[in-house]
């Protein structure tokens, strides 16, 4: 199975699977977010802590060349730990991230309102060939992206490939990889995806279970070429957290998925 990155002497080389669909010279945000989560996870104190929030600022494209990831603890306390990480290339910081780790504990007494939500059952049997399943509205799951080129709500489901060759991808890393896909889930309309996200914020109430994850669009707001997309992250046990991206118009390089096969969209050599 192809991994997103290969590690050599402390540096990371992206595989073709990690390359962005916007440009063959750039690494996709999903792979970038996963790699930053991998670095930040090193600073989680112990299993009693959960990575409750990850925020990634994607302010400069990460090119498909060897890169370095650097991290540090910003604050370490009894109930909260904050860590920062950054990706460096050619002597420049390309993107940065912050993770907040919170200590788990007893749930406070009482009842609290939460929004009622029905998530689509994942496709079965489990698909392990790295293909991306898509559901629009109440339609059946499909890998035919042309059939999904509409203005209906999008939900995706995927079995993630390894992040780094020779390593098992952690639940936090998988969540970060899928989190960046919020841009596609929330900004995919009848003419494709015309926005590119400048950031991604992932919030988790617990770590996901299993190698698969789903993401369902919950809201989309747009004005003057700026959009905000919110999605729900879930596994086979239920809701895990939320993902939010802010994005800027990229209409000159609009991704028209109707012109691509599912293999071209979801698979890499």
**Distance (Å, rounded) from C-alpha 182 to C-alpha 185?**
5
**Distance (Å, rounded) from C-alpha 63 to C-alpha 31?**
12
User: Does the pLDDT value for residue 129 go beyond 80?
Assistant: no
Q: What pLDDT was estimated at residue 251?
A: 84
How far CA 233 is from CA of 13, 28, 144, in Å, comes to 28, 19, 22
- What are 55-91's pLDDT values in tens digits? 999 999 999 999 999 999 999 999 999 999 999 999 9
Higher pLDDT, 147 or 261: 147
Q: What pLDDT was estimated at residue 1?
A: 60
6-15, 121-130, 137-146, 153-162: segment of lowest average pLDDT: 121-130
pTM of the prediction? 0.92
**Distance (Å, rounded) from C-alpha 250 to C-alpha 62?**
17
Give 204: exposed, middle or buried? Use CB within 10 Å, 0-12, 13-18, 19+: buried
Mean pLDDT of the chain: 91
Provide the pLDDT confidence category of residue 20 given band limits of 50, 70 and 90.
Answer: confident
Q: What pLDDT was estimated at residue 263?
A: 43
The dihedral sign for the CA sequence 214, 217, 222, 225: positive
- What are 196-241's pLDDT values in tens digits? 999 999 999 999 999 899 999 999 999 999 999 999 999 999 999 9
* Token output for 213: 């994850």
What letter would DSSP give residue 31? H
**Distance (Å, rounded) from C-alpha 30 to C-alpha 73?**
23
Q: Is 157 within 8 Å of 133 (Cβ atoms)? A: yes
Q: What pLDDT was estimated at residue 165?
A: 95
Q: In percent, how much of the chain has pLDDT > 90?
A: 76
**Distance (Å, rounded) from C-alpha 100 to C-alpha 11?**
25
């Amino acid at each position: 199975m192809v991994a997103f990155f290969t590690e050599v002497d402390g540096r990371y080389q992206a595989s073709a699977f990690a390359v962005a669909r916007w440009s063959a010279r750039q690494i996709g945000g999903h792979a970038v977010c996963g790699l930053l989560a991998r670095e930040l996870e090193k600073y989680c104190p112990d299993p009693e802590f959960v990575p409750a929030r990850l925020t990634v600022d994607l302010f400069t494209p990460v090119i498909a060349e060897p890169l370095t990831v650097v991290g540090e603890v910003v604050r370490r306390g009894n109930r909260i730990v904050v860590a920062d990480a950054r990706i460096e290339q050619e002597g420049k910081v390309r993107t940065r991230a912050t993770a907040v780790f919170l200590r788990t504990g007893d749930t406070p007494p009482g009842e609290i309102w939460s929004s009622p939500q029905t998530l689509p059952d994942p496709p079965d049997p489990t698909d392990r060939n790295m293909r991306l399943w898509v559901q629009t509205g109440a339609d059946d799951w499909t890998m035919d992206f042309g059939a999904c080129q509409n203005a209906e709500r999008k939900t995706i489901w995927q079995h993630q490939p390894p992040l780094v060759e020779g390593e098992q991808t952690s639940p936090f890393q998988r969540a970060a990889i899928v989190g960046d896909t919020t841009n596609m889930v929330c900004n995919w309309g009848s003419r494709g995806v015309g926005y590119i996200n400048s950031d991604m914020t992932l919030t988790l109430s617990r770590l996901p279970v299993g190698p698969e994850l789903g993401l369902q669009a919950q809201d989309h707001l747009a004005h003057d070429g700026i959009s905000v997309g919110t999605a729900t992250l879930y596994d086979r046990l239920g809701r895990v957290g939320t993902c939010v991206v802010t994005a800027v118009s990229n209409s000159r390089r609009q991704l028209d998925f109707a012109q691509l096969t599912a293999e071209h969209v979801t698979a890499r050599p």
